[in-house]
Amino acid sequence: MSEFDFDLFVIGAGSGGVRASRMSAAYGAKVAIAENKYLGGTCVNVGCVPKKLLFYASHFREDFENAKGFGWNTTIPEFNWKKLIENKNQEIHRLNEIYRKILSDAKVKIISGTASLKDKHTVKVNDKEFSAKHILIATGGWPMIPNIPSKEHIISSNELFFLDELPKEIVIVGGGYIAVEFAGILNGLGCKVTLIYRGSLFLRGFDQDIRCFLANEMKKKGINLLFETEVNSIEKNENQYICKLQNGEEIFTDKVLYATGRMPNTNGLNLNAIGIEEAENGAIKVNDYFQTSVPNIYAIGDVIDRIQLTPVALAEGMAVAKNLFKGESKKVDYTNIPTTVFSQPSIGTVGLTEEEARDKYDEIAIYLNDTKSLKHTLSGSNERSLLKLIVDKVSDRLIGFHMVGSDAGEITQGIGIAMKCNVTKAQLDSTIGIHPTMAEEIVTMREPAR
């Protein structure tokens, strides 16, 4: 009989934690998982899934308008925010129950409550203690709200998903993908949106051509972009909030959403007391096999702040399960991870930006295609798309792909597979395109732009 209650105790039932726990159980381990909020974590409850549902909803207004060019005599119907949120909540509840069933079917013990570490082999949940040979921390991240006067007037993306009413006007502060995505969503649903960012251009770390192109497209859709601007304080009058800017201007609005980053969710875990090392931003330090400075305790997902994407957390959870209970030495390959920003229009990206490629390679070729989709030749929309290929001239390999346009995420997934297989520009050129599609532009760009 084991000296421990469990072979593995997982703290956090988000995507990574659930994957690690159920796969460990499938490999024969006795597993428990503790969660103090909701099964499925950020992605299922206040992240990817509900955001994508709102993203779908926000497109109908534009689609109704575009339909006129195709002969449809339409008026824009009335939008019901409460109905959307009600339906979204039902879907999230369904997914919560699916996660519960997945864990139960795998014989993983689900423990509801806030977990903390008593020592390197003991987890305390509520008033009970559980011993475990291995412990995995998968507690994710949490929105970070800066300390400014009247910060109690601010909401984060978490609260936005549960608003009783859709605001007529909203100020969004931030320059990351969450800020950009909600600017497009709320604008599409009929809000007057002002996006404020302290930097010169949003989406720092993305390819410069893509950032500039998207900013222009968002302006065309009526989103007010204020760069190199900061909010000093927020006040409230009878009806609205007043954002007082650093330059002396004031913006009156119904809601103020801060999307200024997320921080590792480690509060209350008692990490310092047992010697688990953290980075300056609070992220848990791990090695290539996700071991912390306490060898039997592991961490994955947003709490280690490597790449904050659900599929990455899933891969990390799978690696931990295989290493602990199948005797493997599996690492996660973080190169060429395709991702998308559900902006409007969307971004798809995989591989190096042009700036990164110029630092890493001696000679590169850049292929660009700024185009209007066939749909918008009749719709009347002035939306355009941009596709960009970055090629290492020595090896002819595609080392970067970036796109702004409809279905960018769907297209980028396929390019991500090709880049994992070291696809070359010559191979792209030899591929016959599917006509007429936006994706065919990838295999028809012949002459480098620079």
Q: Catalytic residue numbers?
A: 435
Nearest to 56 by CA among 378, 329, 424, 409: 409
The SS3 of residue 72 is: coil
The helix, strand and coil proportions of the chain, stated in percent and rounded to the nearest 5, come to 35, 25, 40
Please list, in sequence order, all residues whose beta carbon lies within 8 angstroms of the beta carbon of residue 360, skipping any fewer than 6 positions away: 352
CB-based burial, 247-271: b 16+ in 10 Å, e otherwise: eeeebebbbbbbbbbbbbbbeebbb
The SS3 of residue 93 is: helix
Please list, in sequence order, all residues whose beta carbon lies within 8 angstroms of the beta carbon of residue 430, skipping any fewer than 6 positions away: none
CA distances from 279 to 34, 264, 316 (A): 24, 10, 19
Neighbours of 141 (CB within 10 A): 22
Element (H, E) at 232: strand 231-236
Find the Cα–Cα–Cα–Cα dihedral 391, 369, 341, 172, rounded to 10°: 130
